[in-house]
């Protein structure tokens, strides 16, 4: 009987340890921001206020995307103490594409593929301390990628 109790305790402890990171991820998930249709609404749900235009945010994306379903995007930020990089596409069905968080000392750089419904700006907002910095790049979409 002691063996079953021991195995049961080990199983419960392991399951709890595995579920804790999922709770942390769920806590960081901002459902309202990701569901927002308008850019301003998504920014408001992320508590973004007073963006400063910055040349320290480098956006590498094509000038023309033949297929909006696969648009390669690279963002590098040279702003000290960067905590997060948010990616927005205003003319998409939902404006917020991704919100990437960085730990202390992590290099604030992302490389990903995004979908774009139509020609639009890709807007990047960087959170560093209590300030928000922004940059954008227009991408012409030749074939709709969100259909």
137 phi, psi to nearest 5 deg = -145, 135
* Average pLDDT of every residue of the chain: 85
pLDDT tens-digit series, residues 104-118:
778 899 999 999 999
pLDDT tens-digit series, residues 53-97:
999 999 999 999 999 899 999 999 999 999 999 999 989 999 999
Q: Is the dihedral of CA 37, 41, 43, 47 positive or negative?
A: negative
Q: Which of 23-32, 33-42, 59-68, 75-84 has the lowest mean pLDDT?
A: 23-32
**Is residue 17 very low, low, confident or very high in pLDDT (cuts 50, 70, 90)?**
low
pLDDT at 143: 76
Element (H, E) at 86: strand 82-89
CA-closest candidate to residue 39, choices 82, 88, 99: 88
Q: For the domain with range 36-141, which CATH number is right: 3.90.1150.10, 3.40.50.2000, 3.40.50.1360, 2.60.40.2470?
A: 2.60.40.2470
pTM: 0.78
Higher pLDDT, 83 or 12: 83
Residues in Cβ contact with 53 at an 8 Å cutoff, skipping those fewer than 6 apart: 133, 134, 135
At residue 12, does pLDDT exceed 80? Answer: no
Q: Are 45 and 36 in contact (CB under 8 A)?
A: yes
Q: Which of 10-14, 91-95, 140-144 has the lowest mean pLDDT?
A: 10-14
pLDDT at 23: 44
Strand partners, 101: 84
Strand partners, 60: 74
């Amino acid at each position: 009987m002691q063996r079953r109790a021991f195995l049961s305790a080990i199983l419960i402890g392991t399951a709890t340890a595995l579920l804790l990171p999922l709770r942390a991820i769920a806590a960081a998930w901002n459902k309202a921001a990701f569901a927002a249709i308008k850019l301003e609404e998504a920014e408001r749900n992320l508590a973004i206020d007073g963006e400063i235009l910055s040349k320290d945010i480098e956006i590498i994306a094509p000038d023309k995307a033949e297929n909006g379903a696969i648009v390669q995007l690279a963002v590098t930020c040279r702003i000290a103490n960067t905590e997060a990089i948010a990616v927005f596409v205003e003319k998409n069905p939902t404006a917020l594409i991704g919100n990437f968080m960085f730990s202390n000392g992590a290099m604030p750089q992302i490389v990903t593929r995004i979908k774009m419904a139509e020609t639009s700006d890709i807007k990047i907002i960087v959170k560093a301390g209590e300030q928000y910095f922004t940059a954008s790049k227009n991408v012409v979409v030749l074939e709709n990628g969100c259909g």
